[in-house]
Structure 1
Amino acid sequence: MGNTLPFNLHWMATIGTFFMAMIVIFIRLRSVRKPTNTKKIIMPPIGMSTGFFMFIFPVFRIPLSWGITAFITGTLLFSWPLIKTSQFEVIDGKIYLKRSKAFIWILLLLLFIRMFAHEYVEQLISLEQTASLFFVLAFGMLLPWRTAMYIRYKQLKKQGTVATE
């Protein structure tokens, strides 16, 4: 089917994606300066889950097998490096995310892999279905990552060396 967007609009969308990724990295770098809490960990997947409303519109629908494959790919290939590089530390009784240079490089690598895969996939299916597929892939990455962070956070709190929220 392929992409029907004009070339310039296509590149604007690509640059916009890259710009948004840079914002995420900037926010992540700033987040290590403030203690974290349950709300900061669980709100991203909750907020992102509203994106599933796109499937109300038939143009965004994809076969269930594609969705399952995208989710599993996000979980197995994209979430584990984020899980490995998202560590906590306790400072003055508060839990902070540890700053990790590897995390930033992993985010950039995942971004480029995603962008190249997106370029390929959108040549095969409609732009809307491509968006749906990559949304499910991203959710498959985000949900296990944030779940692992939440579990680690709760384990640290349970150890008793942390002030309550």
Structure 2
Amino acid sequence: MSFFPQSFSLPHLASIVLTLLSGAAVTFLRLRASNRPTTLRKIIIPPIGMSTGFLMFAVPETHVPWLWAIAAFLVGAVLFSYPLIRTSKLERVGNDIVLKRSKMFIFILLGLLTVRLLIHDLVERSVSIPQTGALFFVLAFGMIVVWRIAMLQAYLKIKRGEAK
């Protein structure tokens, strides 16, 4: 049994290309935001904005078993957030708090994108496309929430003057 499908359909190829383009855009935006002042609002708004994606579950085709959703959330929260947390560091620069990214950050983002694409193909073999999208949304939400909570803790620590 081959890891990759025998034939790629046009929708499948379009999905891969769209994912790669989206990943490249996110990587570009993340790198552009490096070393710019951050605020409490900039840390907490992305997960709040992303939470509106849970409205997809109003559509029955996206429903997945609770255990699958919990597993997807935990994979994002535990495995995928860890490299982002380790390669993102908040520092005080004058009166501002800035996000300093490790030189490895871009490679971590590209690695996570690659792993996501590989896992996506495996998951898509077992569940429908809408369910696959739902599971990967929950995974991404788990990753973002945990990463942003870690950033929020670091931000508040610096604001209180407890960090170096």
Which residue identity is paired with 1:106? I
Which residue identity is paired with 1:47? G
In structure 1, which of residues 143, 162, 165 is the aligned counterpart of residue 145 of structure 2? Answer: 143
Please report how far the alpha carbon of residue 103 of structure 1 lies from its aligned counterpart in structure 2 after TM superposition: 1.2
Partner of 1:30, secondary structure, is helix
Partner of 2:37, secondary structure, is coil
Q: CA RMSD in A?
A: 1.6
In 2, Cα distance between equivalents of 1:109 and 1:29: 15
In 2, Cα distance between equivalents of 1:23 and 1:144: 22
In 2, Cα distance between equivalents of 1:15 and 1:81: 24
After TM superposition, the structure 1 = structure 2 runs for residues 83-122 of structure 1, keeping only pairs within 5 Å, are: 83-122=85-124
Which residue identity is paired with 1:151? Q
In 1, Cα distance between equivalents of 2:41 and 2:25: 20
Structure 1 runs not aligned, ≥5 long: none
TM-score of the pair, normalised by structure 1? 0.90
Structure 2 runs not aligned, ≥5 long: none
TM-score of the pair, normalised by structure 2? 0.91
Partner of 1:34: 36
Moved over 3 A (4+): none
Please report how far the alpha carbon of residue 99 of structure 1 lies from its aligned counterpart in structure 2 after TM superposition: 3.0
Which residue identity is paired with 1:22? A
Partner of 2:38, secondary structure, is coil
In structure 2, which of residues 117, 130, 133 is the aligned counterpart of residue 131 of structure 1? Answer: 133
Which residue identity is paired with 1:81? P
In structure 1, which of residues 21, 24, 28 is the aligned counterpart of residue 23 of structure 2? Answer: 21
User: What do the CA deviations read for 1:74-131 (whole angstroms, capped 9, x no partner)?
Assistant: 1111011111111012112211111322111111111100100001110111001111
In 2, Cα distance between equivalents of 1:33 and 1:88: 9
Partner of 1:20, secondary structure, is helix
Partner of 2:55: 53
In 1, Cα distance between equivalents of 2:59 and 2:162: 48
